[in-house]
Amino acid sequence: MSKPGFKFLIDLPVRNHWENVDLLRTSILNCFTAIFSELDGVHAFATVAAELLENAIKYGQWRDPSAKLHLRVWGDDDAAHVEVENPVDATSEDTRELLRTIDWLKTFPSAEHAYRAKLLEAATAPTGVSRLGLARIAYEGGCELCAIIDGDVLRVTSVTKLQA
């Protein structure tokens, strides 16, 4: 990995445009490829960031044209974090479903177990409705997810433990 005491931080306000998701995923991927030697983890981490940004754009409350996403990526020797903030209607069904899903993920012994359960659920769901996203992010990204609402701002954070 890197020498002890290693830290990194990216902290950006982001316009809520779909094209920015791929731009930021690629930027994170490029930055981390220059730093880390284990590229599978780099790809997974960049994918988690992109998926969380996509969710924020898709389910955010964007009535105010000046509203922004906020992306924060940080870490040290032990863990890497992605945090996405976006405005929401705290009472919307989409927001409540996101919070329920993250709580549901925590009831499983691992992200793999939760993802398998979600796959089985999706197999019997009406066509076009899967709700696999968060379970897939946790599993493929090897991360734990948490979310909080502060007023009209939703903050979703992933934490990935780094291997020495």
Section 42-64 average pLDDT: 92
Q: What angle do CA 24, 75, 79 make, to 5 degrees?
A: 115
Q: How many residues does the chain have?
A: 164
Cβ within 8 Å of residue 20, ≥6 positions away: 14, 53, 69
Cβ within 8 Å of residue 60, ≥6 positions away: 16, 67, 69, 86, 87, 88, 154
pTM for the full predicted model: 0.89
Q: 163 near 156, Cβ under 8 Å?
A: no
Please, which pLDDT band fits residue 164 given cuts at 50, 70 and 90?
Answer: low
Section 30-59 average pLDDT: 88
User: Between residues 80 and 2, which one has the greater pLDDT?
Assistant: 80
pLDDT value at residue 30:
92
Percent of the chain with pLDDT over 90: 66
Q: 140 near 116, Cβ under 8 Å?
A: no
Nearest to 89 by CA among 152, 41, 144, 150: 152
Is residue 10 exposed (0-12), middle (13-18) or buried (19+ Cβ within 10 Å)?
middle
How many other CB atoms sit within 10 Å of the CB of residue 162?
18
Q: 154 near 147, Cβ under 8 Å?
A: yes
CATH code reported for the domain at 7-161: 3.30.565.10
Residue 2 has pLDDT above 50, yes or no: no
pLDDT value at residue 1:
44
